[in-house]
Structure 1
Amino acid sequence: MADPASYRPSPGEIPKAPGVYRFLDPTGRVIYVGKAKNLAARLANYFQDPAGLHPRTRRMVFTACAVKWVVVASEVEALSLEYAWIKEFAPRFNVMYRDDKSYPYLALTMREKFPRMHITRERKRASTRYFGPYTKVWAIRDTVDLLLRVFPVRTCTNGVFARAHAQGRPCLLGYIDKCSAPCVGKITEEAHRDLANQVGDFLAGKTAPFERKLEADMREAAARLDFEAAAKLRDDLAALRTVNEKNTVVFNDGTDADVFALVADELEAAVQVFHVRGGRIRGERGWVVERVDDSGPGDLMARLLQQVYGDIPEAQRPLRGTRRAARDDARSVDDVVHTATDQVPRDILVSAMPADAAALEQWLGRLRGAGVSIRVPQRGAKRALMETVTANAHDTLRLHKSRRSGDLTQRSQALEELQEALGLASAPLRIECYDISHTQGTHQVGSLVVFEDGAPRKSAYRHFTVRGERGEGASDDTAAMAEVLTRRFRRLQAEEAGEEGIDEDGVALRSGPLDEATGKPRRFSYRPDLVVVDGGLPQVNAARATLTEMGVDIAVIGLAKRLEEVWVADDDYPVILPRTSAALYMLQHVRDEAHRFAITAHRKKRARAMTRSLLDEVDGLGPARQQALLRAFGSVAKMRRADVGELAKTPGIGPRLAENLYELLHRDDASGGAKAATTAQ
């Protein structure tokens, strides 16, 4: 590795002008490309004290051995050149948004003598019209099946077409009227091409003319008493309307917009985009990308827009109102002119305002040939749609992480990496993670989640109500964590020793760690191989001290959120796992699951506290007895009118409990009477 000081340019060499820079490795390969309003100020950031750099950035500057730059006239030119170089060199340290999956499209091969409609996952061939993307293959197959009722375009491969032509006999689709059978001359070349153009126009959004024509033909057939033809036209019309209904209306004003939502954690970012044309959702796509530095949402969003629209040639979209624009525009179901889905729309709605938004708007305006607006929606239908897109992005990131943790090979690799990184005697087959949740010290709840063989064991999850020394909660998170660990491992020690009695949670301890009914070990009797706490070195050392005091010898680590360092008890320096490490992904999943489970339990407890009944204040009056009272009297107001004897007749309510309840219900009356007597005196 090269020392950055060995190739650092002199301060006077770097111009204070807009430009694009690139770092090169010893072989001359470009490893990073960036742009700047001020090259001198930006490059100076890379040659500061390496300890202050993001780990990925620090690795990049030590991998490089040279830096070069090009001065340009404006920020917009810098934006264009940066994207061109990223696309050309594919630098390893740049954020590259790639689809988390390849999406299917519906294609019309207009270059062929007899155009063909088929499903594909590529968009590379010239003279082919593509529609989509669709989210599921089965959805596009349903669409094709419905369209073939009205537009029986050829869908067979060239080999099947040639064989049918040679035999003079069409395939099955030709016999059931889902293909016009051009292979055997049932339709002319010109008529079949016209049919293919009609399919393309319908998929592009020009649907209203076809629906009106089918409806008119249906009424005409019914008028001449040709009910069989009218019924077929009715079914065809229903099929077209079903296809239309798949494109959900979200904006009644016919807005053209791309809606981008970005959700990121410390290691990765997930992006979702909905293409809205003519007020309808015409397609959606998703990406998952590794975060290569500590860039914020604004920088990530700027790079995303740059890559999504970078392949569109400049000035491809003419100004609205020109002859070419009128010819190329598509129409929605209500005949509203809209931009094609593969072009830059007028409105770009984002969840976070991108960095250099003004320069991006100018650049995108050049690509569109008209003005472009980038903004964060604040209210109304656009804000509601943004929340939907954001929810999809959250789900994309969650699924991505769960799929990684769900893969058996990945889990095995993660456990092996953890064993090696932490110096454990064996792979941690059972991992327990603890977290604390509260609201300003109230309603404190601790959570325990369990991962066995790298996968969540949800039946072993537990939550703890943190009581503290005086029953009013712990003084801080460290004390709360100590209480949770003490209660969990005291229970474990009791079960391992075969002790009997009642634990602090009021649960009976059975003799021995085996369940007499099943003969299997109880869930709490399993000893973990690794304990994980949410936090840094102070939290880890406190947890380690608690376990040591109890005589429990189990490895304890903590996962800090800021830089995702893994802290080991009594070590002054953290263990840094690679950002793409399977072990780090697993620890993140464990930590996030503990956090989620703790928050869920805390919210339930807080909700119960906010809706507490007056009856909860009576000692010994649990939920079952409260229900019995409510069944007998119907309401608390009617209980107030009852005497002690009537209350005691309720099943489960004895004389002593009835007296306590009576005193509580009439406490306010007694205080009010005393107050009145004092006033009279």
Structure 2
Amino acid sequence: MPDPSTYRPAPGTIPDSFGVYKFRDGTGRVIYVGKAKSLRSRLSSYFADLSGLHPRTRQMVTTAASVEWTVVSSEVEALQLEYSWIKEFDPRFNVRYRDDKSYPMLAVTVGEEFPRLQVYRGPRRKGVRYFGPYSHAWALRETIDLLLRVFPARTCTSGLFKRHSQIGRPCLLGYIDKCAAPCVGKVSAEEHREIVEDFCDFFSGRTDTMMRRLEKQMQAAAEELEFEKAARLRDDLDALRRAMEKQAVVLGDGTDADVIAFAQDELAAAVQVFHVRGGRVRGQRGWVIDKVEEVDTPGLVEQFLTQFYGEQDELGEAADGGGAAEAVPREVLVPELPPDAEAVTDWLSGLRGSRVQLRVPQRGDKRALAETVARNAAEAFTQFKLRRSGDLTARSLALQELQDALGLETAPLRIECVDVSHIAGTDVVASLVVFEDGLARKSEFRHFAIKGDAETGDVGGDVGSIAEVVRRRFARHRADVEEIARTAPETGEVEAEAEARPGIDPTTGRPRRFAYPPNLLVIDGGAPQVNAAAEVLAELEISDVAVIGIAKRLEEVWLPADPDPVILARNSAAMYLLQEIRDKAHDFAIRYHRQKRSKRMTTSALDEVAGLGESRKAALLKHFGSVRKLRAATVEALTEVPGVGRQTALAVLAALQGTENKATRTTTATTPVPGRQEDG
């Protein structure tokens, strides 16, 4: 493994200016491309202490054998050169946005004498005008079929067109008036091109003009008593309205925009793009990519914009030299602005040939549409994770990778994970989740209310809380083992059965609570938490349970008493499984913490009601079943509880409503935001 210090440039030789740099491996292959406002500052960060680098960054710099750079004069030039090099060298450590499928588009062959309409997939070609991409080919075909009644343009292949020209008869579409039949001379080339241009105008969003024109023609035909013509125009109007309904109007100002949203975790990200043209959603696109380095949302936005629109620019040039003007809309709406927003905006404007707005929608219809795109991104990401966790082969691979990386004797078929949640040391709780064969066993999930020291109530921070949970969980298991050993007869048959089936009560034959020990215990935390858990297991003389910790920031895996973490590949099946287990424990703990905090605040509010004792408080909670239902109850419903009169009911509602307002303010103040966590 190369040592970065062997190829580190002298600091004085690196220019302090805009530029783009390349890392190469020992064979000369480019493995990473990046840009920087200051090459000196950026490159120096790669040669800092390796232990402080992101795992993937550490892997990159130890894989590389040399680094080189090119100085440019502006951020826009840096963006352009970075994209060109990524496209040329395809570096393994750069994120690439590749379609997971081929999206259908509407292609109009405007370069031909008699232009043709077709549903098309593949690279763009010269002399063809494109609309889309669209999510479903069937929906696009249905729309075209509706519009052919109004715009009877040619849809046949060149071979079929030539054949019917030779025989002098149109095809079926020509007989049913869904094609103007230019093949047999029913319309001239100029007339057919006008039909195609009207079709393109309608698809581009200029629908109002077309609708008004048809309405005037229909009224004129009716006034001249040409009722058949008027009826045909009426049917044409209905067809246009049905076609418009297939593309919902989302923005009333005829906006041309791309709306982009992300859903992500530490290892992967889902991207969704809605293409809005003429105020309507004309197409939708999505990707799921594995992260190869630590990057936040602004960084993802910049990477996506440069790669996606750079690709569209190349496709446009390959088609007709100006396709990027249609591919890049007037507005690009993103969840967060990239770090170099001004440079990216200038670059996009250069691609389009006119000014492009890059902004975050704040209110109104555009904000609502952005939220819809974000929900689609979240749904796509959820489906991606479900497919990943539901794959038997992937689960087996994950368990095997864990066994190999941690040096376990067998694959960890049962994994338990502990996480602690609190706010500033109050309402400290913990969760324990169980995974068997790589799948969650929700019936085995457990909550813990941290008790702390019996005399002082001090929980000892996260380390003390972890120790308490591990002690309580395995003390019960230890007690069960000792009970089985103590009650076993001298013959040893029951003892042998207990040893073979340690989780089964020999009397009832039912599983004991917490009886099955895990093969692997995962702690949500770093070295201090892992060492605390290992010390508890040593006190209880439990030696057949492996203990590890997973730290959130860098996804490092810590072993007890080991000064250095184990680094798993960020896109490995083992890391995906550990992350899923940790996230389950995290969510389970936070949910219990919020319930406990809400219950404490409600109980304290009821304590303030004069004359309301413990028995009536318990009766109220038992009658309504939950605090939420109690808070929403009416005075009459409260008085149905034995011992609660009208005045007491009014006092209870007043106290609960005051608590709800306080809880709302508290939740607003403590809602997790990027960079802030609600757990220990």
Q: Give the TM-score normalised by the residue count of structure 2.
A: 0.76
Counterpart check, 1:575 vs 2:566:
yes
- 2:61 alignment partner in structure 1: 61
- One of 511, 527, 542 as aligned partner of 1:537: 527
Change in Cα spacing, 1:313 to 1:565, as seen in structure 2 (3 Å) is: closer
Question: Residue by residue, what CA displacement relative to the aligned partner does 1:505-543 show, whole Å, maximum 9, x if unpaired?
Answer: xxxxxx996799x98858965543322221112222223
- 1:372 alignment partner in structure 2: 356
Amino acid at match of 2:533: A
Question: Residue by residue, what CA displacement relative to the aligned partner does 1:441-491 show, whole Å, maximum 9, x if unpaired?
Answer: 444443333333223344544444445566989554444444544555566
Q: CA deviation at 1:371?
A: 3.3
Distance in 1 (CA, whole Å) between partners of 2:562 and 2:5 is 31
Q: CA deviation at 1:420?
A: 1.1
SS of match in other structure, 1:96: coil
Amino acid at match of 1:400: F
- 1:360 alignment partner in structure 2: 344
- 1:559 alignment partner in structure 2: 550
Amino acid at match of 1:626: H
Question: Residue by residue, what CA displacement relative to the aligned partner does 1:621-659 show, whole Å, maximum 9, x if unpaired?
Answer: 34685359x99xx9668988x9xxxx8xx5xxxxxxx6x
Q: CA deviation at 1:421?
A: 1.1
Amino acid at match of 2:332: I
SS of match in other structure, 1:428: coil
Change in Cα spacing, 1:220 to 1:582, as seen in structure 2 (3 Å) is: same
- 1:503 alignment partner in structure 2: none
Distance in 2 (CA, whole Å) between partners of 1:625 and 1:16 is 70
Which region of structure 1 is more displaced relative to structure 2, 154-163 or 45-54?
A: 154-163
Distance in 1 (CA, whole Å) between partners of 2:228 and 2:599 is 64
SS of match in other structure, 1:65: strand
Counterpart check, 1:210 vs 2:207:
no
- 1:599 alignment partner in structure 2: 590
Distance in 1 (CA, whole Å) between partners of 2:184 and 2:360 is 56
Distance in 2 (CA, whole Å) between partners of 1:526 and 1:143 is 59
- 1:332 alignment partner in structure 2: none
Q: CA deviation at 1:199?
A: 2.5
Counterpart check, 1:590 vs 2:581:
yes
Distance in 2 (CA, whole Å) between partners of 1:196 and 1:62 is 58
Q: CA deviation at 1:83?
A: 1.9
Question: Residue by residue, what CA displacement relative to the aligned partner does 1:301-321 show, whole Å, maximum 9, x if unpaired?
Answer: 32322222324669x99xxxx
Change in Cα spacing, 1:512 to 1:412, as seen in structure 2 (3 Å) is: closer
- 1:405 alignment partner in structure 2: 389
Which region of structure 1 is more displaced relative to structure 2, 200-209 or 429-438?
A: 429-438
Distance in 1 (CA, whole Å) between partners of 2:510 and 2:216 is 73
- 1:72 alignment partner in structure 2: 72
SS of match in other structure, 1:396: helix
Amino acid at match of 2:265: D
Counterpart check, 1:343 vs 2:343:
no
Q: CA deviation at 1:562?
A: 0.9
Distance in 2 (CA, whole Å) between partners of 1:222 and 1:486 is 89
Change in Cα spacing, 1:596 to 1:103, as seen in structure 2 (3 Å) is: farther
SS of match in other structure, 1:76: helix
- 1:626 alignment partner in structure 2: 623
Question: Residue by residue, what CA displacement relative to the aligned partner does 1:103-160 show, whole Å, maximum 9, x if unpaired?
Answer: 3222233445654433333242222222112233443344334334433444455666
Q: CA deviation at 1:278?
A: 3.9
Distance in 2 (CA, whole Å) between partners of 1:69 and 1:37 is 12
Distance in 2 (CA, whole Å) between partners of 1:47 and 1:534 is 30
- 1:394 alignment partner in structure 2: 378
Q: CA deviation at 1:577?
A: 0.6
Change in Cα spacing, 1:447 to 1:229, as seen in structure 2 (3 Å) is: farther
Counterpart check, 1:426 vs 2:445:
no
Q: CA deviation at 1:576?
A: 0.8
Distance in 2 (CA, whole Å) between partners of 1:119 and 1:402 is 32
Distance in 2 (CA, whole Å) between partners of 1:237 and 1:490 is 77
Distance in 2 (CA, whole Å) between partners of 1:224 and 1:524 is 88
Q: How does 1:585-664 map to 2 (within 5 A)?
A: 585-611=576-602, 614=606, 617-618=614-615, 621-622=618-619, 626=623
SS of match in other structure, 1:562: coil
Judge conservation of contact 2:205–2:254 (CA < 8 Å) in 1: no
Judge conservation of contact 1:161–1:183 (CA < 8 Å) in 2: yes
Amino acid at match of 1:390: A
Distance in 1 (CA, whole Å) between partners of 2:573 and 2:469 is 29
- One of 415, 439, 445 as aligned partner of 2:423: 439
SS of match in other structure, 1:91: coil
Amino acid at match of 1:206: R
- 1:34 alignment partner in structure 2: 34
SS of match in other structure, 2:13: coil
Q: CA deviation at 1:581?
A: 0.8
SS of match in other structure, 1:270: strand
Q: CA deviation at 1:584?
A: 0.5
Distance in 2 (CA, whole Å) between partners of 1:213 and 1:494 is 86
Judge conservation of contact 1:282–1:341 (CA < 8 Å) in 2: no
Amino acid at match of 1:412: S
- 2:287 alignment partner in structure 1: 287
SS of match in other structure, 2:273: strand
Change in Cα spacing, 1:165 to 1:569, as seen in structure 2 (3 Å) is: farther
Change in Cα spacing, 1:491 to 1:88, as seen in structure 2 (3 Å) is: same
Judge conservation of contact 2:204–2:278 (CA < 8 Å) in 1: no
Change in Cα spacing, 1:192 to 1:548, as seen in structure 2 (3 Å) is: farther
Change in Cα spacing, 1:340 to 1:144, as seen in structure 2 (3 Å) is: farther
Amino acid at match of 2:552: K
SS of match in other structure, 1:618: helix
Judge conservation of contact 1:498–1:513 (CA < 8 Å) in 2: no
Q: CA deviation at 1:161?
A: 6.2
Change in Cα spacing, 1:191 to 1:40, as seen in structure 2 (3 Å) is: same
SS of match in other structure, 1:572: coil
Change in Cα spacing, 1:626 to 1:37, as seen in structure 2 (3 Å) is: closer
Judge conservation of contact 1:468–1:483 (CA < 8 Å) in 2: yes
Name stretches of at least 5 consecutive residues in structure 2 with no aligned partner.
Answer: 485-500, 607-611, 652-680
- 2:667 alignment partner in structure 1: none
Amino acid at match of 1:51: S
Distance in 2 (CA, whole Å) between partners of 1:616 and 1:420 is 59
Question: Residue by residue, what CA displacement relative to the aligned partner does 1:2-22 show, whole Å, maximum 9, x if unpaired?
Answer: 333333333443333333222
Q: How does 1:33-432 map to 2 (within 5 A)?
A: 33-112=33-112, 114-155=114-155, 178=178, 191-219=191-219, 233-311=233-311, 341-345=326-330, 347-432=331-416
SS of match in other structure, 2:584: helix
Distance in 1 (CA, whole Å) between partners of 2:389 and 2:620 is 40
Amino acid at match of 2:618: L
- 1:679 alignment partner in structure 2: none
Judge conservation of contact 2:205–2:280 (CA < 8 Å) in 1: no
Amino acid at match of 1:122: G
Q: CA deviation at 1:232?
A: 5.5
SS of match in other structure, 1:127: coil
Q: CA deviation at 1:492?
A: 5.6
SS of match in other structure, 1:310: helix
Which region of structure 1 is more displaced relative to structure 2, 359-368 or 476-485?
A: 476-485
Q: Give the TM-score normalised by the residue count of structure 1.
A: 0.76
Change in Cα spacing, 1:162 to 1:568, as seen in structure 2 (3 Å) is: farther
